[in-house]
Amino acid sequence: MRQIDIKTRNVIAIDGLSIGFRSRSGAMVPVLRNISLSVREGESIGLVGESGSGKSTLALAMMGYLKTGLMVMEGSASFDDIEMFTQTRGSLETIRGGRLALIPQNSGQSLTPTLRIGAQIAEALRLHSSLPKEAHDARVTELLSQVRLPDPVSISRRYPHELSGGQQQRVAIAMALAGEPEALLLDEPTTGLDVTTQAHILELLRDLARDTGMAMVYVSHDLGAIARVCDRVIVMYAGEVVLEGSAHKVLREPGHPYARGLLASIPKLKDTHLPRALDGRPPAPGYAGTGCSFVDRCTIASDQCRDVHPDLIQGTDPGSAKSRCHHVNQVDRIPLVGQRAVRQRDLPAATSLELDDLAISYARVTFLDKLARRESQATATVDGITITLRKGETLGLVGESGSGKSTILKSVAGLLPPVRGTVGAADESALPPRVEDRNASQLRQIQMIFQNPDESLNPRQTVAQILAQPLKLYFGLSGQELNARSTQLLEQVRLGGHYLDRLPSQLSGGEKQRVAVARAFAAQPDLVLCDEITSALDVSVQAAVLELLDDLRRENNTSYVFVSHDLAVVRVLSDRVAVLYQGRLCEIGRTKDVYGDPSHPYTKVLLGAVLEPDPDFAPTLVTNDAVELSPPRTGCPFQRRCPKRTGDICDSVAPPRRDFADGHTIWCHLENL
Amino acid sequence: MAETTSLVRPGPIARFGTVISDIMARPSGAIGLTLVFGHLMLALFGPFIVPYDYTEMDANFMLSKPSAAHWLGADHLGRDTLSRTLLGGREAILVTGIATPLAVIWGGLVGIFFGLVSGRLDEILMRVVDAFLSLPWILKMLVLIVTFGSGTEVLIPTLAFFYGIPVIRIARAATHDVVARDFVQAARARGHSRATIIQRELLPNVRDALLVEGAMRWSWMLLAFSSLSFLGFGVSPPTPDWGLMIADARGFMSFSPMGVLAPMVCLSSLIIGINLTADALAKALGIDRAQKAPV
C-alpha cells in the first residue's frame, strides 16, 4: 500500500450530476444519473465499468467537456471550487491541459504527426507554464527523463511515428506533466498496449503519483490495472455509481452483486476454472425502471429490488464501502471464482493440424531482386514454426504484438501463403498454400473467427444471410432446411431463431461475436482459428464467449488454435501453449507445464507482467519494455531484451531445441532453465 | 413479441422511405429534391401545359418583350420562349437520365473489380484512367461525335462511356476500404468465388457511394450535354433545348435578355437541385465524412 499523505481539500468535486441527450421524441435520456463524488488532493481513484456505463463521459465532464449532443440536466462538476460548466471557453482552456490534464486512450493518435516530440512538449510548456523560453529545452529533457524514456535528447528530436506505442504513451504523459497539473485524468491509458508495456506504464504512473502528489482519475475496464494504481475504486453501472470504496474493500470483498459478477468474470492466471459469465445485458441508456438497474441480471434480487431504487449507502463497519444495493449483507452468496473446471481429456492420436517448418514473410520481392535473381534480403516475419495439433486439442498462441500470432493463423487459413514449409490438415499432409486453390472439403475443415465482430460481419447482411453463406457453400442447403439449420446454429450459440432477421448493428458486441462463432461452426469444421476473439468484448461478455467455446468443443470435438495477448484467457481454454517472440517459437508445451513453471526467459517476462485484480499483487518486471520492430538476423530472437543473456552465443547461434517430458520443448541456450 | 418485430430489418420500400424523409428533413435536401422533382414532372407533363407549340412561329412577336400573350417574350423566329423553356429540358433529362445509370453501372463494376484484384493489373489500368482524365473532356467527346454524328443513339453511349471513367476511381477507392475489412477476408477464407464476394460482400457496401456519385455525375453530364448543344453538337433544331436556346439567343441578349435568362435559370436550378439532393443523400446514407467526424 502506498503511503501518501491524503489531504482533505477536494480537487475535483461532482455534485448530483446528471448528463443526458435529447432523443428523437424530444424526451431527455440520461446517460449519467445523479453522480456525486470527490477526488482529494494526491488521491488516485479508479472509475470502473463496462462499455456504455458512462465512465468516460464522467471523466470528460470533470474537465467541463461534453460530447456533441450531450447536455447537463442537473448538478455540477467543479475543479478546485471552479464550476466547470459555467466557465467561458477561455478560462477552461487555461485550466485544461495545465492544472487539469487528460491522457487519452490512444495517445499515438493524439500527437501531431508532423511535429517533433520536443516541439510538442515545448508547445505545452509555452501554453501552460511560466518558464522562460530559454529554459524550455532543458525542461523538455527533464520531463522525458521523468517518464523514463531512455536518451531523452534523441527522443525529443524524433517524430511520433518513430516511437513505439508505449513510448508514445510516455510522451503523452510527459506532455500532461508539462503544466504541473494538480489532477490527471487517464482514459484507458494502457488499453491496446502489450502486457509488459502496460505493466511498465502503470509502475511509472504509481511513481509519478507518489512523487508529484497529483490526484489521478483512472478510467478503465481493466480491474487489474485499477488495482495497481488506485487507492479508491468507483464501480459504475448503467450511468450510476453502484459501489464506491477503498481498492481493498471493492476488489477483495465487493459489496455489490454487479461488482462481484464483474470480478468473477475476469480470468485469473492462478485460477484454472472458466470465469463466470454475467447473464443478460445492461439496460439501454435512459433506463427508466423504478427499481435497481441491475435487477434483471442479479441472482439475489427480490421484489423490493424491482420496485424501489436503492440508494448509495455506506456500510456500518468503519472503512466499509458505499453500495447501491438492498441486500448488501447477502452479496456473499454470489461466488467470486469460477466453478467450471476445464475438462481434462484423453486426446486421440489423430492430428488435425500440422505445421512443418513454416516461414512467412511480408516482404515483397523487389524488382531489383528479381533482376539480380536473388532471394529477398529481408528476414522472414515468422520462421521455423513446427507444431502438431491433435484432434480436439486446443493450442494457445501467446506473445506480444508483432510476435506473428495472427500471421500464422492467416497462413493456416490460406490468406497469406508461406514462403517455406507446409500446412497439413487432418487427412492431408500438405494443403495448397493459397485459399483459392483449396477444394471445398479442405476449406470446410478450417474455419476462422476474427477479432472484431464489427469488422467480420457484413453490416448490410441480416443474421440469416450471414449464416446462409457457409451453409449454401458447403452443404447446398436452401429453403426450409436452411432455415432450420440456421435456427439450430443460433440456439447452439445461445441465441434464438428470432435473431435471424436482425442486422449486426441491432446486436450487442457479445451477440455479434456469437453470430460469428455460429458462422464458423456452420461449416462443421475440424479446426477453428480464433484470432483474439474476445479482446474487443467486455469482460463479462468475454467470459460467456469462453464458456460457449468450451461447450462447442465438447459437443463437436473441434480443435482450436486460440490466439490472444491475454495470458489468463489463453490459460483457461488451452491444452497446450506455444510462446512466440518475433515470429519464432520460444517454448511450447502443456499449459500446466508452461504456466506452472515458466522456463524460457521470455515466458517468465510475459507471465511476470500479468496483472491481477488484487491491490496487493505486484507484477514482476525484469526487463525493459522496448519494442522491437524486426527479428534479429542471427541467433536467438529474444537476444536484445533477454534478462539472462549468456553471451555472444545468443547473438550468433540460433538457440537449440531442447525436449523435456510430455512434449515440453524450449528453444534456449541457457544451461539451467 | 412487439420488441422483436421492431428489430426486424425494414424492407426495401421502408428503407427508401426513411432515406427520402431524412433528405426532406434537411433544408438543403428539401429544396434540392423539390427542384429535381419539379423538373422531372415538367419533363413528363410539359407538352400538356405549354401555351404554344414549340415550333409555332409568329412574325409579329419576333424578339418581343414579355407580354400577356407571350409571358417571356418570343425568340428570333417568333416562337414562344416560355413554351420552349418549359420543354427545353426534356431531351437533356432523357439522354442524361439513361446515360447516368449506364455510366455508374459500367464504371462501378470496373472499379469494384480493380479494387478487388489490386496488384499490377490494377496499377497499370489506373494509370490509363489517369491519362484519360487528364485530357479535356470536351475534346474527347467532340472527336467521337464528329466521327459518328450527334444523334441520341451516339450521345447516350458517348456520355455514358466518358462519365463512367471517373466513377471507376470512386468505386475502386470505396472497394479498397471494404476489401480491407475482415468480412471480406472471412468470405475469402471460406472459399467463396470472386463473383459471390463482389455480389454479396462488396456491392451492398459500395452501393451507397455509387448512388451519391451517380447523382453528382448526373449534374455534370447535364452540364456537358447542354454545352454540346450550345456548341451545336447536341440536339438538332427545332427541338427545344436549353443549351441550344442560349446559343441561339445570345446574339440578341442586349435587347431580349429573356431568351438567355430563362433557359439559364432552368438549367442552373436543375443542376443546383441535383447537387443539393446528392449532398443530402450522402448525409442520409451516412457516407458524408465531415458529418461523421467525431466531436
Q: Which residue from B minimizes the CA distance to A471? A: B190
Q: Which three cell numbers stand for residue A398?
A: 501467446
Q: Which of residues 276-295 of B touch A (CB under 8 A)?
A: 295
The CA distance from A530 to A517, in Å, is 9
pLDDT attached to residue B289: 42
- Count of positions (residues) in chain B: 295
Identify the residue among B183, B198, B208, B211 best suited for mutation to test binding to A, counting A beta carbons within 10 A and taking the highest: B183
Quick one: fold of B95-213?
MetI-like fold (1.10.3720)
Question: Does A4 have pLDDT greater than 80?
Answer: no
CB contact under 8 A, B295 and A414: no
For residue A452, what are the CA distances in angstroms to A5, A352, A517, A562, B205? Answer: 44, 26, 12, 15, 18
Q: What is the share, in percent, of chain B residues with pLDDT greater than 90?
A: 17
Looking at residues A111-140, what average pLDDT do you find? 88
**How, if at all, do strands A183-187 and A100-103 pair?**
parallel
CB contact under 8 A, A501 and B187: no
Looking at residues A42-54, what average pLDDT do you find? 87
Q: Which residues of B touch A506 (CB under 8 A)?
A: 7, 9
Q: Which residues of B touch A452 (CB under 8 A)?
A: 182
The label of the residue with cell 521455423 reads A384
CB contact under 8 A, B1 and A498: yes
pLDDT digits (tens, 9 = 90+) for B140-176: 888 888 888 878 888 899 889 999 999 998 899 888 8
Q: Which three cell numbers stand for residue B287?
A: 457516407
Handedness of CA B273, B278, B284, B288 (dihedral sign): negative
Identify the residue among A458, A467, A495, A527 best suited for mutation to test binding to B, counting B beta carbons within 10 A and taking the highest: A458
**Mean pLDDT computed over every residue of chain B:** 83
Looking at residues A294-320, what average pLDDT do you find? 84
Looking at residues A50-66, what average pLDDT do you find? 87
Q: Which residues of A touch B9 (CB under 8 A)?
A: 462, 501-503, 506
Q: Which residues of A touch B295 (CB under 8 A)?
A: 67-68
Q: How far, in whole angstroms, is CA A556 from its chain's centroid?
A: 29
Residue A148 three-state SS: coil
Q: Which residues of A touch B197 (CB under 8 A)?
A: none
The CA distance from B202 to B112, in Å, is 8
Residue B33 main-chain phi, psi, to 5 deg: -65, -40
Name which of A460, A65, A488, A546 is nearest A275 in CA terms. A546
In the sheet where A70-79 sits, what is the strand order? A28-40, A10-22, A70-79, A82-83
pLDDT attached to residue A579: 93
Looking at residues A566-592, what average pLDDT do you find? 90
In the sheet where A240-246 sits, what is the strand order? A100-103, A183-187, A215-220, A44-48, A232-237, A240-246, A322-323, A313-314
Q: What is the share, in percent, of chain B residues with pLDDT greater than 70?
A: 93
CB contact under 8 A, A523 and B190: yes
Identify the residue among B182, B184, B201 best suited for mutation to test binding to A, counting A beta carbons within 10 A and taking the highest: B182
**Pick the residue with more confidence: A39 or B64?**
A39
**Pick the residue with more confidence: A602 or A372?**
A602
The CA distance from A544 to A670, in Å, is 41
**Pick the residue with more confidence: A14 or A97?**
A14
Question: Does A5 have pLDDT greater than 80?
Answer: no
The CA distance from A77 to A100, in Å, is 13
Given a contact cutoff of 8 angstroms between Cβ atoms, the answer to whether B85 and B262 are in contact is yes
Q: What is the share, in percent, of chain A residues with pLDDT greater than 90?
A: 20
Q: Which three cell numbers stand for residue A587?
A: 517454448
For the purposes of burial, counting CB atoms within 10 Å of the CB of B3, is it exposed (0-12), middle (13-18) or buried (19 or more)?
exposed
Q: What is the share, in percent, of chain A residues with pLDDT greater than 70?
A: 94
Whether the link from the prior residue into A655 is cis, omega within 30° of 0, is no
**Mean pLDDT computed over every residue of chain A:** 85
Given a contact cutoff of 8 angstroms between Cβ atoms, the answer to whether A342 and A573 are in contact is yes
Please state the ipTM of this predicted complex.
0.76
CB atoms inside a 10 Å sphere around CB A337: 11
B191 lies within 8 A of chain A by CB: yes
Which residues pair with residue A204 across a beta bridge?
none
**Pick the residue with more confidence: A25 or A224?**
A224
For the purposes of burial, counting CB atoms within 10 Å of the CB of A328, is it exposed (0-12), middle (13-18) or buried (19 or more)?
buried
pLDDT attached to residue A344: 64
In chain A, the domains with their CATH numbers are 10-99+181-333 (3.40.50.300), 109-177 (no CATH), 351-667 (3.40.50.300)
List CB contacts of A115: < 8 A, sequence separation 6 or more: A123, A159
CB contact under 8 A, B189 and A435: yes
The label of the residue with cell 442552373 reads B268
**Pick the residue with more confidence: A42 or A626?**
A42
For the purposes of burial, counting CB atoms within 10 Å of the CB of A271, is it exposed (0-12), middle (13-18) or buried (19 or more)?
middle
Question: Does B98 have pLDDT greater than 90?
Answer: yes
* Residue A530: pLDDT band with limits 50, 70, 90: very high
The label of the residue with cell 465531415 reads B290
pLDDT digits (tens, 9 = 90+) for B217-268: 899 999 988 888 888 887 777 888 898 888 888 888 888 888 888 889 999 9
Q: Which residues of A touch B14 (CB under 8 A)?
A: none
The CA distance from A414 to A430, in Å, is 12
* Residue B290: pLDDT band with limits 50, 70, 90: very low
In the sheet where A351-360 sits, what is the strand order? A382-390, A351-360, A420-425
Question: Does A258 have pLDDT greater than 50?
Answer: yes
CB contact under 8 A, B182 and A452: yes
Name which of B295, B291, B294 is nearest B29 in CA terms. B291
Task: Using a cut of 0.95, tell me whether the model's pTM lies above it.
Answer: no
pLDDT attached to residue B36: 92
Q: Which residues of B touch A469 (CB under 8 A)?
A: 187, 190, 192, 200
pLDDT attached to residue A651: 86
pLDDT digits (tens, 9 = 90+) for B7-36: 455 667 777 888 888 888 888 889 999 999
CB contact under 8 A, B205 and A458: yes
What residues does each domain of chain B span? Answer: 23-57+69-89+240-288, 95-213
Question: Does B273 have pLDDT greater than 90?
Answer: yes
pLDDT digits (tens, 9 = 90+) for A443-457: 999 999 998 888 899
Question: Does B110 have pLDDT greater than 60?
Answer: yes
Looking at residues A378-386, what average pLDDT do you find? 83
Query: How far B250 CA sits from the closest chain A CA (Å)?
Result: 51
The CA distance from B48 to B50, in Å, is 6
B183 lies within 8 A of chain A by CB: yes
List CB contacts of B26: < 8 A, sequence separation 6 or more: B280, B283, B284
Question: Does B42 have pLDDT greater than 70?
Answer: yes
Query: How far B7 CA sits from the closest chain A CA (Å)?
Result: 6
Which residues pair with residue A657 across a beta bridge?
A667
Query: How far B220 CA sits from the closest chain A CA (Å)?
Result: 30
Of the CA atoms within 13 Å of residue A37, those in its CB half-sphere come to: 29
